[in-house]
Amino acid sequence: MDAKLAAAAVGVNAMGNSGTTNRLLLGILAGSSFASQLIGDASLSKRPMKRVSQPLAKFGAEIALSPAGTLPATVIGQKLHGAEIQLEVASAQVKSAAIFAALEAGSPSTIIEKLPTRNHTEIMLRQFGADITTEADNLTIHVQPGQELLGQEVEVPGDMSSAAFWLTAGRLRKSWLLMS
């Protein structure tokens, strides 16, 4: 991403209430060549972010949080180094942030989870050309930095959980017309 565009995009309240966007961007921006500030809405600004910033610090990331360990977060992008880290929380978002940082590191990294979490990030990044392997224990992930990731068309299926509330509400109200 162009550094000026990225800096402009993340210097505003771009996070809204999206914890996923915030956590993944912390990992992506840690190895950038510019500083960014991530700001969220009132709800997101109450969520703990040390669970992400502390593992990223092991790669050399510099992330300043509020005194409460929440947003806003200031990320000073810089060269990262490889690391072996054990994640203290079972979180696919924290793991994904660590993988994104490891891709920007100067040497290989190993990320060890407490419990296996969703592996969507690893699968997609492999498809784009990343050298990421997972051991048979499904807890240990090895990341080799330096591969050029190649963009491609990806079809993301709809998420029924996002529509469940509206479908239920529509079913309860006889006067509402549901369209399929």
- In a structure prediction context, what are the per-residue pLDDT tens digits for the chain, which is 180 residues long? 455 545 544 554 567 888 898 999 999 999 999 888 898 889 999 999 999 999 999 999 999 999 999 999 999 999 999 999 999 999 999 999 999 999 999 999 999 999 999 999 999 999 999 999 999 999 999 999 999 999 888 877 777 777 776 667 666 766 656 555
The reported pLDDT for the residue numbered 159 is: 76
DSSP state letters, 49-93:
-HHHHHHHHTTT-EEE--TTS-S-EEEE---B---EEE-SS--HH
**Cα–Cα distance between 102 and 82 in angstroms, integer?**
6
Kindly report the pTM of this predicted structure. Answer: 0.82
Tokens of residue 20, six digits: 């996923």
Tokens of residue 112, six digits: 């060890």
Radius of gyration of the chain (CA): 18
**Cα–Cα distance between 39 and 36 in angstroms, integer?**
10
